[in-house]
Amino acid sequence: MAFAFAPLPWSVPHFGAFWGEIKGDYPTFEVHPPIGEFNFEFNAVAPEAIVNLPVRCWFKNDQSNRLIQVQNNRFFHNWRRPNPAAPYLHYDELKPVFEREWGRFCKFVNRYGLGAPNVLSCEVAYINHLDRGVGWDNFSDLFRIFPSVGSFEGKKFLAKPETISANASYVMSSNEGRLQVAIQPAIRRLDGKEIIQLSITGSCRPASSDTSELMRCLDSCRGWVVRGFDDLTSADMHKIWRKK
């Protein structure tokens, strides 16, 4: 889950100060390049040195299954299953956590005089790993998972494709936002297994930055993600996933 907001006058010291407040729950950090378009400025000879270092910080919890990402115009809370045997955390369990952490971030921003975040977009993303050998074996079998996707096999000259990746975007009703679907051939670093990574992301623009409106938007995005997943994937795969 994530919010994108108008850029705040957030600078390097704010990362440390914010981490100081959440360190009890998120004891480790990583520094990454920011999401979105950004400028990197370094002017060593200006009368007043200009330094703009756009970064995104990850703050991870003890079990490394929850993550807060912060940059000057984004706030993310991510959950991932640490191992296949770990219980799955559902949206209804994760949303209150996101709401709590967002509240903590807003209080921090307010206390440091950075202004209230003007939220431009709410986002819910589901990332699924579809293991090779479970319902599919070759990329030309993609229709087994996604019945509306073709084989991409050539008419005469081209054989079956070695890999296929695809991106699709759907407009939500009343033009509230978009549902984006990405199908990417990938390898899971943990065990080196071949997978299809299916990412489904719902994003929509809230009418205001009030918490109730933001939560309504998240619910709407999540609804689109769930219905979109169900609509795009085959009944045979649903049976396989239900058995797992």
Partner 1 sequence: MAQALHLPNFIELKRSRQDQESNRRQWSGVKSLQSPAWLKEIYDRISALKLLEENWDSYGGLPVAETAIKAVRVLLSNLDIEDLPTPHVAPLPDGGIGLHWRVGARDLEIEVEPNGKVHYLQTNVGEESIPGDVHSLPEAQNALDWVLGK
How many residues are given for the chain? 244
Q: For residue 129, with 0-12 CB atoms within 10 Å meaning exposed, 13-18 middle and 19 or more buried, which class applies?
A: middle
> If binding is defined by CB under 8 A, does position 214 make contact with partner 1?
no
List 9, 16, 27, 40, residue binding partner 1 (CB under 8 A) = 40
Query: How many residues of this chain bind partner 1 (CB under 8 A)?
Result: 41
Q: How many CB atoms lie within 10 A of CB 214?
A: 20
Shortest distance, CB of residue 143 to partner 1, whole angstroms? 19
**3-state secondary structure at position 213:** helix
Report how far residue 39's alpha carbon sits from residue 67's, in angstroms, rounded to the nearest whole number. 25
CA distances in angstroms from 204 to 1, 174, 184, listed in the order given: 12, 11, 23
> If binding is defined by CB under 8 A, does position 160 make contact with partner 1?
no
> If binding is defined by CB under 8 A, does position 162 make contact with partner 1?
yes
Shortest distance, CB of residue 65 to partner 1, whole angstroms? 10
> If binding is defined by CB under 8 A, does position 41 make contact with partner 1?
yes
> If binding is defined by CB under 8 A, does position 182 make contact with partner 1?
yes
Residue numbers at the binding site for partner 1 (CB under 8 A) = 2, 32-33, 35-45, 67, 69, 76, 78, 80, 125, 127, 129, 162-163, 165, 167, 182, 184-195, 197, 199
